[in-house]
Amino acid sequence: MAKRVMSILASVGLLVGMLAVGAGPAAAGAASSADWNYRPMNVAIQVSPAQTTPNGIPLCTSGSLGNLVCYSPSFIKAAYNFPSSLDGTGQTIVIVDAYGSPTIASDLARFDSLFGIAPPPSFTILCGNGGCPATPATADKAHDPGGWAVETSLDVEYAHAMAPGANIVLDVAASSSGNAINDAEATAIALYPGAIFSQSFGIPEAYIKTGANNAQVKQAQKNYAAGIAKGDTFFASAGDSGADFGFGFAMANFPASDLHNTSVTGTQGNPYIEPGALTDCPTSITCSSGLATYQGPCALGRTAPPPCVPVGYGGEQVWNEPLFGAATGGAPSLLFGIPTYQSGLGLTARGPDVSYNAAIDGGVLVVSGPYLYFVGGTSAGSPQWAGIAALANQARASASKGTIGDLNPVLYSIYHSAGYASDFHDITVGNDQLVNSSVGFSASSGYDLASGLGTPNVTNLVNDLATH
């Protein structure tokens, strides 16, 4: 099944930033028993701009897979009810990635032009004392530079799109090794107190559990504690290879499993519209593309105005797309016990925290180099949650309050309050059992391992975070 899926995806120019189904430890890209290489958490399908004209979104075409659901920032913001009165002004979002992308500045400019977004007040590329690293050869599978380039574009563009008034810092690590990422984060934490950090990468905990690399974990934890003390907030992606990453036993993704990181799992539309099943939306009615609802008339390949108009929220379920060999991470940690804020949830160890759209058929449109991509994966959620935190910090600043800082205790206090039902979409459908695996967890009412607390109703959540 895995070979069949990968051959289908290769035909549409897929870049896979995740472990293959059934992969063992040799496939992880670990450099040695004392080091590891993080992997970006994205799945990207390359398409031509003609297939994704803005007037036709969310109805796009993708070659051999036929019609797919695709989203621009305006559809995501409408679905999750982003407030129009906040834009993240005065806040700083730090995007942490390895290698970066030599075209990221022009990518961001093209992205903003395509979707009508103002440029950020500032865009800083931070590469440390040694300067920006040379990008490895594209064929370097251990480091996956192609995946990191698309990852960089996704992270920068969608953090900016959700909080266009925030300053963006791209913190570029010299390589994808754990030590290099730690060094890069330590530098940014020292330079940007009160910032919001997005980490759309990770490594299955089994590689850490069995390796002689505890020093790297301790250094990462030291970084997070130092950042929290400065008022920083940290987000990390939960992974794209189900509850077991192909190992046959449940585990979390690090650094998402650290207690100071808000771990972001994935969702997809409910109903989920299978590839090729999308149809035109007739005149003057409201249609659903899964996550989002929108106003017709809309047609596949539409090039002339008026564009399809986003209306609001449709529905969601746990992200699990067998055709693409992908499903959200979400499982008890092998490394960390139950943090205080997760007590009383029936957990056996640290679990994930929140969720966000991660579908591939239902992915976001990203500009990277000369190409346009549909991008899915839990990588999409971390930078957009960082944008939400920037809106909350802007609102807190207006009320003469400090930054929200360590977010998890606040989120769980909301969960245990009357505000939970209005601040979150509770995901109750689906599971994170990867295709060909026997390990997974199902969504249920309230907190669950597959979707955490759920996805945000941003306006309501930000109001509560601003006054907490």
> Taking Cα atoms as reference points, which of 72, 45, 50 lies closest to residue 302?
50
| Residue 293 main-chain phi, psi, to 5 deg | -105, 155
Pairing of strands 292-295, 233-237: unpaired
Residue holding tokens 């449709």? 314
Residue holding tokens 């995740």? 18
Name 376's bridge partners. 43
Pairing of strands 233-237, 196-199: parallel
**How many residues are listed for the chain in this entry?**
468
- What Cα–Cα distance (Å) separates residue 251 from each residue in 36, 60, 211, 454? 17, 35, 15, 20
**Tokens found for residue 255:** 């650094």
380 contacts 357 by C-beta, under 8 angstroms: yes
Residue 184, classed as helix, strand or coil, is helix
CB atoms within 10 A of CB 308: 25
For residues 259 and 289, what is the distance between their CA atoms, to the nearest angstrom? 35
Q: Is the dihedral of CA 54, 380, 230, 351 positive or negative?
A: positive
Residues 6+ apart with CB under 8 A from 271: 288, 290, 315
35 contacts 213 by C-beta, under 8 angstroms: yes
| Residue 326 main-chain phi, psi, to 5 deg | -135, 145
Residue holding tokens 């797309």? 321
DSSP assigned state of 308 = P
Q: Which residues of 416-449 are buried (b: 16+ CB within 10 A; e: fewer)?
A: eeebbeebbbbbbbbbbbbbebebbbebeeebbb
For residues 333 and 349, what is the distance between their CA atoms, to the nearest angstrom? 6
For residues 149 and 466, what is the distance between their CA atoms, to the nearest angstrom? 34
Q: Which amino acid is at 134?
A: A
For residues 350 and 195, what is the distance between their CA atoms, to the nearest angstrom? 24
Q: How many domains does the chain have?
A: 1
Q: What is the CATH number of the domain that holds 462?
A: 3.40.50.200
**Residue ranges making up the domain that contains 445:** 2-467
Per-residue pLDDT of the chain (468 residues; tens, 9 = 90+): 233 233 333 333 333 332 222 233 333 333 344 567 888 877 777 776 666 666 778 988 777 777 889 999 999 999 999 999 999 999 999 999 999 999 999 999 999 999 999 999 999 999 976 668 776 555 455 566 678 999 999 999 999 999 999 999 999 999 898 999 999 999 999 999 999 999 999 999 998 876 656 788 999 999 999 999 999 999 999 999 999 999 999 999 999 999 999 999 999 999 999 998 888 888 778 999 999 999 888 877 676 777 889 999 999 999 999 999 999 999 999 999 999 999 999 999 999 999 999 999 999 999 999 888 889 999 999 999 999 999 999 999 999 999 999 999 999 999 999 999 999 999 999 999 999 999 999 999 999 999 999 999 999 999 999 998
DSSP assigned state of 176 = S
234 contacts 262 by C-beta, under 8 angstroms: yes
